[in-house]
Structure 1
Amino acid sequence: MSAVSVCIPVYGRQELTLRCLEALCRHSPARALEVVVVDNGSLDGTPQRVPQRGAELFGERFLYVRRERNDGFAIACNEAARHATTPMLFFLNNDAEVCEGWLEPLLKVFREERRIGAAGPVLTYPETGRVQHCGIAFDPFLHPVHLYEHFPPDHPVVRHRRRVQALTAAALMVPGQVFADVGGFDEGYVNGYEDMDLCLRLRGAGWRLVCVPESRAEHATSCTPGRFANEDANVRRFRERCGEALVPDAHRIYEADGFLPRFNDWLSLYVAMPGETRVALDAGVWTERKAVEQTLKRHPLWENGYLFWHDIAEREGCADTAFLARFLRAALFPGRESFIDFAQAAGNTGDVITQRIAMARLKQAEARQRDGEGLRARADAIADAAERSGDDVALRMCVQWFRGEGRGGAR
């Protein structure tokens, strides 16, 4: 008997689904899985190619379920779970590909730790190899934060197994009975926040959630057509249903791990490295690209390192590397200067779409920054809440923001 039922909701993008299935077969022990694909009414070649290839890879342990319309992620996942015949469910997006050795570390955590209600692998971006997801926390404004996004996956803070408030359902293992007991995915959401709602209900029922760094998968992220069409309604529903259960903890996690949580000019959370380390690195003479790259793997919050990396790569004619340096700096240190540099880098490579996205984010950030009164009111509200709750880290961040310390990204 198989140990795990892999539940894959799909809508179009047959090429992604085929790669997802092939990675599952290639990187999983023989006969360890049954696979249930629920098709939300795909209009491409999915109904023809996916059942055929699934049967070739998994034989009688593969099931294809066809729905006549796209009713969204939650409904498809719940249907897949109803068809599952194993004790464990593994929800997997069709734009994700598991890596070698992914399965056993997830199963092991359920065997060895008490009250684990869900576990997930570290997810990485296929384009950069950097971290996309190693658990979800919440910032002082209760916005969800993917911890250590864009860090190297082998960094010590990523390799640390940690309990978290939420995990993404792009790759999520849950015992079938536990999933049923809490009611499965809430079907009032449409392609967003279903996973965080599930995680908050699991925690409310006394279960723990853990990200398992020994398990890895690559995730292309948000490839389903119309993925964000209902974002505002999903956010409202999540806040109404789960708002009181959320705990602002991302900034406290970062400080406990030895970093400096900060607000930028428009009150977005970012993370800086300790000043003495930054000063020591900045004082170095950096002329070798490999030396800078290796240092950035150890110190991914060294902002000037990305500037050195970019300049060296540009001199050497490595356009892709120069672009990556600009991208990572903008992602890790959101500020007007880093956004402008990233947009310019996208334009230099001829990537007009990315350039437009970067400029749109810049304009949005500048609009927020112009609302000085609104920003001050938001910072005041967070400072008051932090003082009432004894959150010294958030209070210190607010004081630093009012003083203009470390704003505009990292300085």
Structure 2
Amino acid sequence: MKIETLRAELGRRELLRLGALAGIGAALMPRLAWAAEQPSLAPKVTEVIERWVGPGKFPGMIAALGLPGREPVFVARGTDSFTDLDMQGGDSLYRIYSMTKPVTGMAAMILIDDGKLKLDQPIAEILPKFAQMRVQKTYDGAITDDALEPAKTPITIRHLLTHTSGLSYSIIQKGPIKTLLEDKGVIAGQVSRLKIPGFDRGQSVRSLELFADRLAEVPLVYQPGTKWSYSVGLDLMGRVIEVVSGQPFDAFLQQRLFDPLGMSSTFFQVPASEAKRLTTNFGAMGSTLMPIDPGDTSIYLDKPAFPFGGAGLVSSPRDYDRFLHMLANRGELNGRRVMSEAAVRLGTENLLPAGVAGPAMMTAPSAFGAGGRVGLGAEEGIFGWAGAAGTVGTVDMRGGVRSGIYVQFMPPNSNSLLSDYQKALHEDVMALVAKPA
């Protein structure tokens, strides 16, 4: 056997072995072996990227696709901004915003696996100020004494992970609770140094401890455990994690996830030495893109008010794929165990309280796990979440395929880019798992 043929056969065997470990059925393995040899794994996604990058569109963006046991393939087009002509690539830096939530969720699963937390443990056992919560009688209504009632059940760890705690969110609420959150500085995120209407989130308190204490003074919008409602639950989980672990929240993530996974390009504060890699974030005003956070002067170069566990991370496509790859491998990456298989399985499955439906904001019915959406029906086994500036990261826990798109614009529903991408990704992945001719 020629050496080239032997290498190809060994590579095919390795892919099949890793596919089996990732839960790929025997019927799908030949297709994945075939797919690994193709010049383009994502032709439909490539078409979308090329259609949306160029003059009058976006300066650049990246899609990532990873097969079981393989390094990701990046489809990168364009530059970091219209004025910064560095080409975008797998190591470019993006504000991933709420894609931080699954990271925080898995950090909580590590502590549950360590026996330091319990899924249905009341958070008041850790943060006593949440022991006597009050709840609005009418969602987003008045917050006067006669408009509130006592919480019927305590907020639990499960509730924080799945957005069923009844906690509010300044980016969601429209009524007096929004004003109260802003007045108290209970703001979990940042966008720009500029005070731009529609993008300015207000001034946050300067510590995670104070954030938690102030949040405990804000009425809930729903009774705990009764409704999926997007919230600051994962930001509060950051405070739970640091109290239980005895470490600052960001230090815990660094020690238990980022360092073991080799995620050296994931930050709450981007070092000045890495500013050149940070892309520009744009505000989308119709068909016009306005730079609201240029990479070289970004607010992410400053130390944040506190590490936002729900929306605070900057990461690279290559780094975030390492996180997704670890989940696909049931807790291992490159032969190193980072999480137990049991913790990964539990965190990527439906954790919603009995009788509670998943996110209503999504087009397809879904459940929810530890900080991320869990697909149902045709999307069964797909876990992940999206970010407020146009990033999306998912992993198919049955097939082991990881995917992501990285672009920077707000709000992400201002055009059809992400829906175009999701349709193209579905077509590409279905082509990968279809039986080869």
Q: Same fold (TM over 0.5)?
A: no
Which protein, 1 or 2, shows the higher relative CO under an 8 Å CA cutoff with sep ≥ 6? 2
| TM-score normalised by the chain length of structure 1 | 0.24
> More helix per residue: 1 or 2?
1
| TM-score normalised by the chain length of structure 2 | 0.23
